[in-house]
C-alpha cells in the first residue's frame, strides 16, 4: 500500500519536474497575436488569400508580409477585427462572388458529340476540343464545383451555377475553369451578361440559342456609351462592374436572352 503510494507520487513528481523543465527550456516562442488573428479569420481554409489556409495567412499578417483584406471570405468585418489586433489599417474591399458567364444549357447550346471519358472540364476540352459547339462556353464537367470549398457550385443541365449566398469569393473556381469564364463580381451587382463568346453573332447563333451577338442594345437601353455600364470585347458585351447597370428593364430587351437580373444567380434561365 505504502509502496504503491510512494511509487505513484514519485512518478508524478518526476513527470512534473520534467514538464516544468520542458516548459522552461524547450518552449517554442510564438507571437500570441497569431492565435488571435487565426481566431477572427473565418476558418474555411479556402486558400482564396493565396496562403495555405487561415493559419498561414494569420502568420503572414502578423509578420507583415500579407495585406490585411486579402480574405475574401471574411470580408470587411474580418479585416476590421484583424486591424484592431494588429493596428494596421484594413484596405476596404467589397464582397465579391463568382459568376459563371455562360447560360448555354444542354437544351440551348448544341453539343457536337457524345463525350465519353473522365468527368473533368480540362480533360474533356483536350478531347476533340470538347463536346460543346461553343468553344468559349461552360462544358459542365464540374472542375469548378470540385474545388469549391463551400459546395456553392452545382451543375444543372450541363451548366455550372454559383449560389451567391454560399459563395465566399475565394476565387478557386476562377483558376480551375479551363475556359476562363468564371469572374469574381461585386455581390451587390444584380444585372449580368451570361456569355463568354466574342465571335460574330451569326457564328454564335450556329452553336447557341442564348449567346451574346454584340448588338449593343443593352448599352443603348442603359443610357448609351457615355453611361459606361458596358464594355465590348469583339462581339461580346461585358458588364462594367465598376459602374454596373441598375435598370432591370434592359434585361428583357436583350434579343439574345443572355442577360439576367438575379440577386442570387441560382435561377438563371
- Site residues (CB under 8 A) for another protein? 107-120, 122-123, 125-131, 133, 135, 146, 205-209
Distance (Å, rounded) from C-alpha 244 to C-alpha 263? 14
Q: Which is nearer to another protein, 107 or 188 (CB)?
A: 107
Distance (Å, rounded) from C-alpha 159 to C-alpha 155? 5
Distance (Å, rounded) from C-alpha 46 to C-alpha 169? 10
For residue 258, which of 138, 115, 132, 95 has the smallest C-alpha distance? 138
Min separation Cβ 125 and another protein, Å:
8
Q: Which is nearer to another protein, 90 or 195 (CB)?
A: 195
For residue 227, which of 238, 213, 216, 243 has the smallest C-alpha distance? 243
Supply angle C-alpha 236, 223, 252, rounded to 5.
60
Which residues have a Cβ under 8 Å from the Cβ of 43 and sit 6 or more positions away? 54
Min separation Cβ 109 and another protein, Å:
8
Cell 477572427 maps to which residue? 40
Q: Which is nearer to another protein, 84 or 200 (CB)?
A: 200
Min separation Cβ 103 and another protein, Å:
13
Min separation Cβ 199 and another protein, Å:
9
For residue 176, which of 157, 149, 199 has the smallest C-alpha distance? 149
Task: Report, in angstroms and rounded to the nearest whole number, the Rg of the chain calculated over CA atoms.
Answer: 26
Query: Do residues 190 and 261 make contact, with C-beta atoms less than 8 angstroms apart?
Result: yes
Min separation Cβ 121 and another protein, Å:
11
Q: Which is nearer to another protein, 21 or 126 (CB)?
A: 126
Cell 458596358 maps to which residue? 230
Amino acid at each position: 500500500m505504502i509502496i504503491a503510494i510512494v511509487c505513484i507520487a514519485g512518478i508524478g513528481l518526476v513527470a512534473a519536474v520534467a514538464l516544468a523543465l520542458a516548459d522552461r527550456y524547450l518552449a517554442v516562442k510564438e507571437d500570441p497575436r497569431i492565435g488571435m488573428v487565426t481566431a477572427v479569420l473565418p476558418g474555411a481554409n479556402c486558400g482564396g488569400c493565396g496562403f495555405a489556409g487561415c493559419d498561414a495567412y494569420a502568420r503572414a499578417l502578423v509578420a507583415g508580409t500579407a495585406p490585411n483584406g486579402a480574405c475574401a471570405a471574411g470580408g470587411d468585418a474580418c479585416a476590421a477585427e484583424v486591424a484592431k489586433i494588429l493596428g494596421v489599417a484594413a484596405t476596404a474591399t467589397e464582397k465579391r462572388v463568382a459568376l459563371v458567364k455562360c447560360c448555354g444549357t444542354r437544351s440551348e447550346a448544341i453539343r457536337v458529340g457524345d463525350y465519353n471519358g473522365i468527368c473533368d472540364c480540362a480533360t474533356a476540352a483536350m478531347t476533340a476540343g470538347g463536346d460543346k459547339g461553343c468553344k468559349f462556353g461552360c462544358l459542365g464537367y464540374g472542375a469548378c464545383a470540385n474545388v469549391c470549398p463551400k459546395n456553392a457550385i452545382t451543375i444543372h443541365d450541363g451548366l455550372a451555377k454559383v449560389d451567391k449566398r454560399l459563395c465566399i469569393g475565394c476565387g478557386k473556381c476562377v483558376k480551375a475553369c479551363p475556359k476562363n469564364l468564371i469572374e469574381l463580381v461585386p455581390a451587390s451587382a444584380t444585372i449580368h451578361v451570361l456569355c463568354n463568346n466574342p465571335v460574330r453573332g451569326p457564328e454564335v447563333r450556329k452553336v447557341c440559342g442564348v449567346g451574346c451577338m454584340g448588338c449593343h442594345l443593352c448599352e443603348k437601353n442603359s443610357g448609351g456609351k457615355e453611361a459606361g455600364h458596358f464594355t465590348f470585347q469583339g462581339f461580346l458585351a461585358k458588364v462594367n462592374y465598376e459602374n454596373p447597370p441598375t435598370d432591370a428593364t434592359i434585361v428583357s430587351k436583350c434579343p439574345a436572352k443572355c442577360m439576367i437580373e438575379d440577386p442570387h444567380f441560382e435561377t438563371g434561365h
